[in-house]
């Protein structure tokens, strides 16, 4: 069993649909996030309120950590942790008007040379936080026109909006792989 780590923009039921009814969930309120990036006061209040309400809905299966950093929260997590994939390189390029076709790629060579076991979970969390923050900044700043721009990725025409949805589907795919391998 692993812990599903949800962020403030991942509170909908589709982020926990694939979990068993008692699988644990982690929500982290990190002071560093608010120190590092300016948020409109009302937006910060809404995100924190939504996180706390979601934690209450999840009940005993949810750990709600109010900490200085994500790493502090992860130090207390006894099980493997899964997270939603945060980014899309294709979305960035298409949103910026670069419609150059992006080829697909074979992920196996990347995995074979990745040396993934050498890093502790806290390092993975820090990398995830950095990539996720970058992705949120990208999507937060898109104009309505940018959301509708499209390009070719892996021989398929896709809009930026569609790629944003693919980010969620990609995470679910990897969660399924992890569940299969860990069971």
Question: 50-79 pLDDT, tens per residue?
Answer: 889 999 999 999 999 999 887 788 887 877
Task: Write the DSSP symbol of residue 59.
Answer: G
Cβ pair 16, 1 in contact under 8 A: no
Neighbours of 9 (CB within 10 A): 17
pLDDT of residue 128: 65
pLDDT of residue 47: 82
CB under 8 Å to 49, separation ≥6 — which residues?
A: none
Distance, CA of 167 to CA of 94 (rounded, Å): 15
Cβ pair 24, 62 in contact under 8 A: yes
Distance, CA of 182 to CA of 91 (rounded, Å): 31
pLDDT of residue 86: 44
* Number of domain units in the chain: 1
CB under 8 Å to 118, separation ≥6 — which residues?
A: none
Cβ pair 2, 19 in contact under 8 A: no
Neighbours of 107 (CB within 10 A): 9
- Spans of the chain, pLDDT less than 70: 14, 37, 39, 83-96, 102-112, 114-117, 119-132, 137, 167-172, 174-178, 181-183
The CATH code of the domain that includes 46 is 3.40.50
Which domain range does residue 79 map to? 3-182
pLDDT of residue 62: 92
């Amino acid at each position: 069993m692993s812990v599903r780590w949800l962020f403030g923009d991942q509170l909908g039921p589709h982020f926990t649909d694939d979990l068993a009814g008692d699988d644990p969930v982690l929500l982290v309120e990190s002071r560093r996030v608010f120190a590092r990036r300016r948020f409109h006061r009302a937006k910060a209040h809404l995100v924190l309120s939504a996180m706390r309400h979601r934690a209450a809905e999840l009940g005993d299966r949810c750990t709600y950590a109010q900490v200085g950093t994500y790493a502090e929260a992860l130090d207390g997590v006894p099980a493997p942790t899964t997270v939603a994939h945060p980014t899309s390189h294709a979305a960035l390029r298409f949103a910026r008007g670069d419609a150059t076709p992006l080829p697909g790629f074979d992920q196996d060579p990347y995995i074979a040379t990745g040396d993934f076991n050498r890093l502790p979970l806290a390092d993975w969390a820090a990398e995830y936080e950095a990539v996720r923050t970058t992705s949120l900044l990208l999507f937060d700043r898109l104009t309505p026109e940018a959301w509708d721009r499209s390009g070719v990725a892996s021989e398929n025409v896709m809009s930026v909006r569609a790629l944003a949805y693919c980010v969620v589907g990609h995470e679910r795919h990897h969660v399924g792989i992890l569940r299969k391998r860990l069971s």
